[in-house]
Structures are given as C-alpha cells and as structure tokens.
Amino acid sequence: MSRIRRLSRAITISLLFGIPVWLLGTVFGAMFGNSRPVNRRPKIKYVIFDLGDVLLAESSKEQVKILGLGKALKIGLTIGARQFLPFMKPLNIRKKKKEIAGKIRPIENPALNARTQDGSAPLSQIDRDWLSGKYSCKECLEQATQFVENHPELFSGKTEQKSVETAFRINFTPEHVARILKPVKEGIKFVQECKDQGMEVLILSNMDSQTADLLQENYPQLFGLFKEENIFISGDMRMIKPDPQIFETVLRERDLDPHACVFFDDQKENVEAARACGISAVQCSKKKKLLGGSKPDIDYLRKQLAALIIERELEALDEERTTETVHI
C-alpha cells in the first residue's frame, strides 16, 4: 500500500512541477526494483597539454643569438626596419617562408585540416612530413634549401632569398628549435596544480622526435612532471593533429574515458578535432609581449579548467536531486 501512495505522490509532483513524462518510467523502476542507471558524465581526471604556445614559448633573445647579431644588423640595414630582426618580430620573412614552404610540394591530404601556427593557411606538406616523422629534419632541410636555391625568381632579391633559407635552417635544425623554445614558468606551475588536485597530466604535441628529445633533456623541470608513457609526440606517432586518429590513439593506449579528459591547445582546428572525439577542449589565448611577441595565457586555462570542474560537480548534484525526486 505504501508503494502505491509513493507512486501517487510522484505522479502528482510530476504533474504539478512539469517533470517530463519519461521520468515516470524511472519512478516505476525505482519503486519496483528496476531502476535504470544514471548517465553521469565523469569528473575531469586527465589534463592533456599541447607544448608550443601552451607550455613552451619562443624566446626572441635566443632567436637573435642563433641568427647572429651582426647578421641581423646587416639584414636590417639591407631590407629596412619592417623586416629588421625578422625572427624577433615575425613579419615579412616568416610570411615569405610560409609561402615558399607551400610551393615545395603539394598537400597530399587536403581533408586533414592542419593549419600553420597562426591558422592563416594550410600547413605545408613539407611541414606535415617533418612533424609526422615521414622525413627527418636533415631531409626536410635539404629539400627546402635546394628549392630556395633553385627558384631565385620567387624572391625580391638575394637578401630575401638568403633570409628565407636561414629561416628554414633554423626551423629544421632540432638544436636551434630546442634553444628557441623555453618553458613557460606559469605553465609549469599550472601542471603541478593539476597534479596536486589528483588529475593525471599528459602531453600531445605536433613536434619532430629529435627536437622533443632535446627539449626533454634540457627542461626536466617541465617534462619531469609527466610520466614517460603520458608523453605523445607526433613524430613518434607518425600522425599529426588535427587527425582524429591521433586523439583516438592516446585514448586507446592509456585507456582513457574521453569525457574525463580536457585538452589545451593553441590552435582552433586541434581543439575542434578533440571535441569531435568527445574530449572537452579549450583554445589557449595569448598575451602580447614586447617587440610584438606573445606568451600563452595560462591564467585563462586555469580559469577554464576550474569552470569545467564546477560544471561537472553541478551536473552531478542535479542528477542526484533528480534521482531523489523520482524516489519520493
């Protein structure tokens, strides 16, 4: 008799407060021993970080050192202030390098929406081959410099041609890239905060294997926060973001629930690809620095993660209240 009274009260509450009719099925199940499980999204347990422009930032100081101050001054005097120290303030030379890289060979898979760092154009095939480990740094450098030397008609003059060649030499030399990229101190702190909250941290980065190895040797204060099996580098995996397979591989190899993961990346396409795989994802914004440079806005990521955690907690409370209501 008490079960009938409880059922009558539940139906009355449903009608008065507009609880959807489909919940009555749950009511019947709860009362007569056939309650269905609540589909609750799990808490955030895993935080996956990109490296470039998230945990690592380019050092203008190191770029100038690699280029050579005397050489930089010579370039500045020759091509004018707008292109002066091009690697310190990325203007025309980097734009020209990107244009030339796109001409070396056609894109093999246009459906893969890989973009340049600034998102302004499709990532060139030579860069895709480099980041996916199809060709070594040395092989890519030889291909790029040979193309530059064989096509002087693509440049405004010898100085521009030489500057672009230098840009390729820096880009495809792991020792140079490893010097230019520096850990973001606030990023290191944020990774530690995630670990202190009981979350497991991972890396998923588009990067050649040689540069990644050098960075891990150079910066144990950052990479030491990650388990070796939690560091995923595109050059080792033979695929690059935003290919959905790269996200699926990480989830499969570490046996992760995508709904328990959050992914931080600086590129929109990568964020969208992660979301398509069921992973919560946040695009890292940037703060401007002196001389036109930028650094990752780690505080923004910290706030976004906190918001996601709170959102999951509120969802759990709502589901608990719903469960209590249908058990009245």
Average pLDDT, the chain: 84
Instruction: Name the residue among 29, 37, 27, 23 with its Cα closest to residue 7.
Output: 27
Q: Are 39 and 26 in contact (CB under 8 A)?
A: no
Query: DSSP characters for 212-243?
Result: HHHHHHH-HHHHTTS-GGGEEEHHHHT--TT-
Res 328 pLDDT > 60: no
> Alpha helix (H) ranges present in 21-150?
23-31, 60-67, 69-79, 92-104, 125-131, 137-150
Domains of the chain: 2-36 (no CATH), 46-55+184-311 (3.40.50.1000), 60-179 (no CATH)
Residue 262 — very low, low, confident or very high, per pLDDT cuts 50/70/90? very high
CA distances from 187 to 217, 224, 285, 299 (A): 18, 13, 13, 9
- For the residues 291-310, what does the mean pLDDT come to? 89
Least confident of 80-94, 125-139, 264-278: 80-94
Residues β-bridged to residue 265: 283
Residue 82 — very low, low, confident or very high, per pLDDT cuts 50/70/90? very low
pTM over 0.85: no
More confident residue, 322 or 252: 252
Q: Is the dihedral of CA 48, 54, 55, 56 positive or negative?
A: positive
Residue 73 — very low, low, confident or very high, per pLDDT cuts 50/70/90? low
Q: What pLDDT was estimated at residue 325? A: 56
DSSP state of 122: B
Q: What pLDDT was estimated at residue 263? A: 98
Please give the structure tokens belonging to residue 191: 């990774």
- For the residues 39-52, what does the mean pLDDT come to? 90
Query: Which residue type is seen at 38?
Result: V
Cβ of 251: how many Cβ atoms within 10 Å? 19
Euclidean distance between CA atoms 210 and 55, whole angstroms? 18
C-alpha 118, offset from chain centre:
13
Q: What pLDDT was estimated at residue 62? A: 83
Query: Which residue type is seen at 84?
Result: F
Q: Are 78 and 159 in contact (CB under 8 A)?
A: yes
Q: What pLDDT was estimated at residue 293? A: 67
Q: What pLDDT was estimated at residue 92? A: 72
> Who's near 92: CB < 8 A, 6+ residues apart?
79, 82, 83, 86
Euclidean distance between CA atoms 246 and 256, whole angstroms? 13
Least confident of 17-21, 63-67, 145-149: 17-21
- For the residues 270-285, what does the mean pLDDT come to? 97
